Amino acid sequence: MIVFVVGTDTGVGKTVATAALAARSGPGTVVVKPAQTGVGPDEPDIAVVRRLAGCEVVEFTRLADPLAPDTAARLRGAAIPAVDEHAAGIRDLARTRGTVIVEGAGGVLVRLDAAGGTIRDLAADLAADHPVRVRVVTRLGLGTLNHTELTVGALRSRGLEPQGLVLGSVPAELGLAERCNRTELPRVTGVPVIGAIPEGAGALAPELFRERAGSWSTIS
């Protein structure tokens, strides 16, 4: 099985949500990051996943500047793989792994390659011959209804029906917008909320993170 963890935007909590899913998925799980940008002194996303979930990880492309992958590549005159090359690499992994989890970069229409291919295109390519599930990580605060509905619509336009919404970095105390959006998100998108990651989860010790990860989702 191939599971895509995509976001409504950058910084919504995809990496921690990916790690939580990987921690619950058990042995034989591998997490793939097709493109990582903004690599600097901070721990890269794929290393965060490996530390928190303790699973195998694979990164296909790494670019230094904190930009969309195609922009970061053009800025440096670097060549980057096309989406179909990413798809081939993921298919190879799926032949020998029980679960392949693919973490997106930014939102679903952020360009992964120089030809305009996106994480949505990658998921659609793989769905042609593999069971593919898509989870959308979104914010709970003000502005999320628009971003989430647009993201879900973009996925559906390629025949990809999201399995569920995951709320990233949920604060302990909810304001009016957060309380209302918890109900409004499934209403406006037609997609159920299947997970909620508490704020600060990524700072937990790995053992505690793995122990608690199961309580943050309503499905496996």
15 is in an annotated binding site: yes
What is the band of 41 on the pLDDT scale with cuts at 50, 70, 90?
A: low
**Integer CA distances (angstroms), 220 to 74, 97, 164, in order:** 39, 17, 11
37 is in an annotated binding site: yes
11 is in an annotated binding site: yes
Confirm whether 144 is a catalytic residue. Answer: no
Q: Which residues, at least 6 apart from 139, have a Cβ–Cβ distance to it below 8 Å?
A: 8, 9, 12, 13, 147, 167, 168, 169
173 is in an annotated binding site: no
User: What is the chain's mean pLDDT, rounded?
Assistant: 95
The catalytic residue among 33, 50, 135, 210 is 33
Q: How do residues 123-162 score in pLDDT, each as one tens digit?
A: 999 999 999 999 999 999 999 999 999 999 999 999 999 9
Q: Establish if 21 belongs to a structural domain.
A: yes
Q: Whole-angstrom Cα distance, residue 118 to residue 116? A: 6
Q: Establish if 200 belongs to a structural domain.
A: yes
Residue range 22-35: average pLDDT?
94
Residue range 9-27: average pLDDT?
94
The predicted structure's pLDDT at residue 45:
87
Q: Establish if 129 belongs to a structural domain.
A: yes
The predicted structure's pLDDT at residue 101:
98
CATH number at residue 89: 3.40.50.300
What is the band of 181 on the pLDDT scale with cuts at 50, 70, 90?
A: very high
Q: How do residues 128-138 score in pLDDT, each as one tens digit?
A: 999 999 999 99
Say if residue 65's pLDDT is above 70: yes
Q: Establish if 137 belongs to a structural domain.
A: yes
Q: Which residues, at least 6 apart from 122, have a Cβ–Cβ distance to it below 8 Å?
A: 4, 34, 83, 86, 87, 90, 102, 112
Q: Whole-angstrom Cα distance, residue 85 to residue 68? A: 18
The domain tally of the chain equals: 1
Q: Establish if 33 belongs to a structural domain.
A: yes
Q: Establish if 108 belongs to a structural domain.
A: yes
Say if residue 196's pLDDT is above 70: yes
What is the band of 39 on the pLDDT scale with cuts at 50, 70, 90?
A: confident
> For residue 172, how many other CB atoms are within 10 A of its CB?
7
Phi-psi region of 191 (alpha: psi -120 to 50; beta: other; left: phi over 0): beta
The predicted structure's pLDDT at residue 107:
94
103 is in an annotated binding site: yes
143 is in an annotated binding site: no
Q: Establish if 220 belongs to a structural domain.
A: no
Domain limits at 55? 2-212
Q: Which residue has the higher pLDDT, 167 or 27?
A: 167
Q: Whole-angstrom Cα distance, residue 166 to residue 41? A: 28
What is the band of 38 on the pLDDT scale with cuts at 50, 70, 90?
A: confident
Q: Establish if 54 belongs to a structural domain.
A: yes
Q: Whole-angstrom Cα distance, residue 201 to residue 197? A: 7
